[in-house]
Structure 1
Amino acid sequence: MTDATPSYLGERHASAERELGTSGVAKRTVGTAESRSASRAWWDADADDYQAEHGQFLGDAEFVWCPEGLREADAGLLGDVAGARVLEVGCGSAPCARWLRGRGAEVVGLDLSSGMLRHALAGNAATGVAVPLVQASAEELPFASGSFDVACSAFGAVPFVADLGAVFGEVARTLRPGGRWVFAVTHPIRWIFPDDPGPLGLTVTQSYFDRTPYVEVDDDGAATYVEHHRTLGDFVRHIVGAGLELVDLVEPEWPAGHTREWGQWSPLRGRLFPGTAIFVTRKS
């Protein structure tokens, strides 16, 4: 999320970067079509490595909101889901959707990436929990208005779309009155620091107000990975603009004894400032 690609990033995603021909970082804006194409290609290419690295932590049928390890079983941000119709936006391998199904919800998992949905299908088979899966963009949800009681996303889709207003508008459209939209993203304050879990990640290097996305590119300058930055105020304005009400903003603290690093998340940084923001919203 900075102009300089951290050394550990290339090591962690080497196979995806080789497949996509990633050769550097560009400082520029990215529109909807390019952002969507890059995200689909990236997550298809990185799906196997991502699952190998994080699958055990996330579980096969668990709902983990964030690298800090906050679980929906403890947080209860979605409320009682028994009998509710739930949409998971950016479901990845769908452990959250399967957990919700185990709590009596009628769940649909949606993701842009066929690579991630391949792991979701494997997870369905391994657990015996059959969650329906749909491949589509979060900016154009293929569901009728008022289809769901709850929508949720644990770092899925929201950070990777160019048009956040379209996503929130689509979620609001598909929610019934009183429905909840709860989503977790990288805490916006993290964008002022280098994307590094160590001491280098404690020094401010860029402006919080610079909304230029983080973009990796190939030799031709085409985006191979895109992640978009919004401030806390930006998120609130998009929430309100979609006709939703902000009910709560959860900033999980780093738990004692939690030693796992996940990308830029680490005990060192987690003790000092938040890494995740979870927005709890409701449709009037």
Structure 2
Amino acid sequence: MKQSMESLVSEHWDRNAEQWARDVRAGFDTYRDHFTLPAFLAILPDLTGLTVIDFGCGEGTNTRLLARQGALMTGIDLSERMLALATAQEEAQPLGITYRRTSFSHCPDIATGNFDAVISTMALMDGPDFAGAMREAHRILKPGGFLAFSILHPCFISAGLRWITNPSGETVGLGVAHYFRRESFVEEWKFGDNPDKANAEPFAVPRFPRTLSDILNAVSDAGFIIKKIDEPMPTEDACKHFPRFRRWRDLAAFLLIVRAEKPA
């Protein structure tokens, strides 16, 4: 079953790849650029000279950013089309990144104890075997190495999510339902800042719901020591530029970030 679910993930992201790359590189992923990525980078130490592997690297935008900060990067992903786009950019503007097509939940071709850090930005919630990803992260890290990942907050981003408005149309709350329902589903959405949004094909993304305890217990059960948990809010400056961000500052949490260490 796991293999068939990974094939489903790969097929969907292969179909998403070209438009995803165009939109991200054009700056239409405003949540990433102005909220989720800055919050994630804030928990990272200096990566200069560290061997770092990016779980779920996609078309490589974040992988390249970390390489420019001095990290020795490897990116892995299931999507052949995403990796082709990442590889093409590496060939055009080399940063010393190695890309490999493999699952972050089962990557036996990645050597044991070979990396200083495992990072993942907004990808692990899109894989069917989170616990397997934690075990693999622990295996391939050197003793004393660290894991850092960001995901959609499992307590608030559920299949039953709906914004609640008052009679004036003002958003006053978030309705959450089906928190304990773990059946996978496919979500369709578009980047809201794409000026051609009306003509863009929606991204179809498989989701694999988990509870907060599913996430944190998997990290701990893999052998990690959890060092920091963060539920960041958008900055006031980001909210001024993108007023819809205020919902995630004032009403609910959008993002969960975890940093953990493999014992030395």
Q: Structure 1, residues 166-186: CA drift from partner, whole Å, max 9, x if none? A: 111011000011111111100
Give 2:255's match in structure 1, choosing from 246, 271, 276.
276
Secondary structure in 1 matching 2:155: helix
Give 1:178's match in structure 2, choosing from 144, 155, 166.
144
- 1:143 pairs with 2:110: yes
Q: Structure 1, residues 179-198: CA drift from partner, whole Å, max 9, x if none? A: 11111100012234745678
- Residues 245 and 281, structure 1, Cα contact 8 Å, conserved in 2: yes
TM-score computed with the length of structure 1 as normaliser:
0.74
Give 1:214's match in structure 2, choosing from 165, 185, 197.
185
In structure 2, the partner of 1:56 is: 26
Instruction: Return the alpha-carbon distance in structure 2 between the equivalents of residues 280 and 230 of structure 1.
Output: 18
- CA RMSD in angstroms, aligned pairs only: 2.9
Instruction: Return the alpha-carbon distance in structure 2 between the equivalents of residues 53 and 197 of structure 1.
Output: 26
Q: Structure 1, residues 108-159: CA drift from partner, whole Å, max 9, x if none? A: 1111101111221232244332411101111112211101000000012x11
Instruction: Return the alpha-carbon distance in structure 2 between the equivalents of residues 182 and 146 of structure 1.
Output: 16
Give structure 1 stretches of 5+ with no counterpart. 1-30, 218-223
Instruction: Return the alpha-carbon distance in structure 2 between the equivalents of residues 82 and 46 of structure 1.
Output: 32
Instruction: Return the alpha-carbon distance in structure 2 between the equivalents of residues 73 and 161 of structure 1.
Output: 19
In structure 1, the partner of 2:62 is: 96
- 1:246 pairs with 2:226: yes
Instruction: Return the alpha-carbon distance in structure 1 between the equivalents of residues 45 and 92 of structure 2.
Output: 27
In structure 1, the partner of 2:201 is: none
Percent of aligned pairs sharing the same letter = 25
Alignment of 1:86-165 (within 5 A): 86-141=52-107, 142-156=109-123, 158-165=124-131
In structure 1, the partner of 2:17 is: 47
Q: Structure 1, residues 53-86: CA drift from partner, whole Å, max 9, x if none? A: 2223389xxxx967624427961x2312122111
- Residues 215 and 226, structure 1, Cα contact 8 Å, conserved in 2: yes
Instruction: Return the alpha-carbon distance in structure 2 between the equivalents of residues 275 and 201 of structure 1.
Output: 16
Instruction: Return the alpha-carbon distance in structure 2 between the equivalents of residues 73 and 244 of structure 1.
Output: 19
Secondary structure in 2 matching 1:190: coil
- Residues 193 and 203, structure 1, Cα contact 8 Å, conserved in 2: no
Instruction: Return the alpha-carbon distance in structure 2 between the equivalents of residues 108 and 182 of structure 1.
Output: 15
Single out whichever of 186-195 and 48-57 deviates more from structure 2.
186-195
Instruction: Return the alpha-carbon distance in structure 2 between the equivalents of residues 229 and 66 of structure 1.
Output: 25
- Residues 75 and 97, structure 2, Cα contact 8 Å, conserved in 1: yes
- Residues 65 and 184, structure 1, Cα contact 8 Å, conserved in 2: no
Instruction: Return the alpha-carbon distance in structure 2 between the equivalents of residues 183 and 74 of structure 1.
Output: 10
Alignment of 1:216-235 (within 5 A): 225-235=205-215
TM-score computed with the length of structure 2 as normaliser:
0.79
Moved over 6 A (4+): 64-67
- Residues 36 and 255, structure 2, Cα contact 8 Å, conserved in 1: no
Q: Looking at both structures, which has the greater relative contact order when contacts are Cα pairs under 8 Å and sequence separation is at least 6?
A: 1
Offset of 1:255 from its aligned partner? 1.8
- Residues 66 and 154, structure 1, Cα contact 8 Å, conserved in 2: no
Counterparts in 2 of 1:201 and 1:128: CA distance versus 1, 3 Å:
farther
Instruction: Return the alpha-carbon distance in structure 1 between the equivalents of residues 98 and 185 of structure 2.
Output: 32
Give structure 2 stretches of 5+ with no counterpart. 166-170, 189-203
- Residues 87 and 148, structure 1, Cα contact 8 Å, conserved in 2: yes
Secondary structure in 2 matching 1:37: helix
Secondary structure in 1 matching 2:89: helix
